[in-house]
């Protein structure tokens, strides 16, 4: 059997001249956590593996299907029905057979975040837009462990880029999130914090909350991967200016511009925040319906608890 032709220094030698040998060595020693390996997660993996990142912790419970073909780099006729995490391992080690890859064939949640983050230096967020509770739990766990998180997600025709560091504003603070908010309110707050305008050009008829699906384009996902890779490089090398809250940006190739991202007012407690919530519900009726259903469910649960307590108090 012939020896493998792979040599790390040869494979990633063309990085030199833009980064130094010592910086490349830091990338080789870096472990990046990638929770979610779909449209953006799979693209993030490609960008980071080709930078020469030496270790990954990958998490995704899903398998590829035909509906993934439009934007997910791992999706093809050859991978239909295969687990995204399994394909991602082959991708990473197909680029760098020396890469140390850990696999979690499940979602990252509050229950397993500590295990997933073991040894991780940087997290690049690839969690589905609609999975807010899992995302909040991961960001809180990263902050507690001093791990920065890069968020580069597709919004409309472009990419929104933010980096959350342990010494900066928290994820919840930037987006104005709280446990009292409904799921619809949390999703709207997240979306507003990632978009310089309103709606990102998304047609609300194609937002399916029941199946957690919305429009996304391959160019936007690849743009996210390019931006995320550069933010990881900044973290490793100390060069440039991180896209931290207050310095986040939105890349808008449709109109050929870059726009700043700013925190929006809380959807509860401020007049402007309540207006934004009203406008979002008006533009996206599915979110309004989800909000009203959750409020109705809370009211029923509260009434049932009152009746139960009253019954227990009777002599």
Which DSSP string do the residues of 27-44 spell out, in sequence order? HHT-EEEEE--SHHHHHH
What ranges make up the beta strands (E) of 1-134? Answer: 31-35, 55-59, 100-104, 122-125
Q: Does 291 fall in a domain? A: no
Q: Does 173 fall in a domain? A: yes
Q: Does 61 fall in a domain? A: yes
Q: How many domains does the chain have?
A: 1
Q: Does 224 fall in a domain? A: yes
**CB neighbour list of residue 43: distance below 8 Å, 6 or more residues apart:** 73, 221, 222, 224, 225
Q: Does 305 fall in a domain? A: no
Q: 106 near 61, Cβ under 8 Å?
A: yes
Q: Does 310 fall in a domain? A: no
The residue range of the domain holding 187 is: 8-264
Q: Does 278 fall in a domain? A: no
Written as tens digits, the pLDDT of the chain (315 aa) is: 457 799 999 999 999 999 999 999 999 999 999 999 999 999 999 999 999 999 999 999 999 999 999 999 999 999 999 999 999 999 999 999 999 999 999 999 999 999 999 999 999 999 999 999 999 999 999 999 999 999 999 999 999 999 999 999 999 999 999 999 999 999 999 999 998 887 778 899 999 988 889 999 999 999 999 999 999 999 999 999 999 999 999 999 999 999 999 999 889 878 999 999 999 999 999 999 999 999 999 999 988 877 777 667 666
Q: Where residue 93 sits, what CATH number does that domain have?
A: 3.40.50.720
Q: Which residue has the tokens 């200016």?
A: 241
Q: Does 285 fall in a domain? A: no
Q: What count of Cα atoms within 13 Å lies in the side-chain half-sphere of residue 264?
A: 25
Phi-psi region of 280 (alpha: psi -120 to 50; beta: other; left: phi over 0): alpha
Distance of CA 49 to the CA centre of its chain: 18
């Amino acid at each position: 059997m012939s020896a493998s032709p792979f040599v790390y220094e040869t494979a990633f030698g063309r990085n030199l001249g833009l980064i130094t040998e010592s910086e490349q060595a830091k990338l080789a020693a870096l472990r990046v956590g990638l929770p979610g390996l779909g449209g953006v997660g799979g693209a993030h993996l490609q960008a980071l593996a080709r930078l020469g990142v030496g270790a990954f912790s990958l998490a995704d419970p899903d398998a590829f299907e035909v509906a993934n073909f439009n934007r997910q780099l791992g999706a093809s006729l050859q991978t239909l029905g295969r687990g995204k995490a399994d394909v991602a391992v082959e991708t990473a080690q197909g680029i760098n057979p020396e890469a140390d890859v850990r696999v979690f064939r499940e979602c990252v949640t509050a229950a397993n975040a500590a295990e997933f983050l073991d040894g991780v230096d940087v997290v690049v967020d690839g969690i589905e837009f609609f999975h807010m509770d899992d995302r909040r739990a991961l960001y809180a766990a990263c902050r507690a462990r001093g791990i920065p998180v890069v968020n580069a997600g597709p919004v409309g025709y472009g990419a929104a880029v933010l980096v959350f560091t342990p010494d900066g504003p928290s994820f919840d603070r930037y987006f104005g999130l709280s446990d009292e908010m409904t799921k619809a309110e949390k999703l709207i707050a997240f979306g507003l914090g990632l978009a310089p305008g309103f709606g990102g050009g998304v047609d609300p008829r194609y937002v399916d909350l029941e199946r957690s699906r919305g429009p996304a384009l391959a160019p936007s996902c690849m743009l996210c991967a390019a931006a995320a890779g550069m933010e990881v490089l900044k973290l490793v090398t100390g060069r440039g200016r991180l896209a931290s809250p207050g310095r986040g940006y939105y890349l808008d190739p449709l109109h050929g511009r870059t726009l700043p991202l700013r925190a929006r007012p809380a959807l509860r407690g401020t007049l402007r925040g309540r207006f934004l919530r009203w406008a979002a519900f008006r533009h996206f009726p599915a979110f309004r319906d989800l909000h009203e259903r959750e409020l109705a469910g809370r009211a029923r649960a509260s009434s049932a608890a009152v009746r139960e307590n009253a019954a227990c108090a009777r002599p």
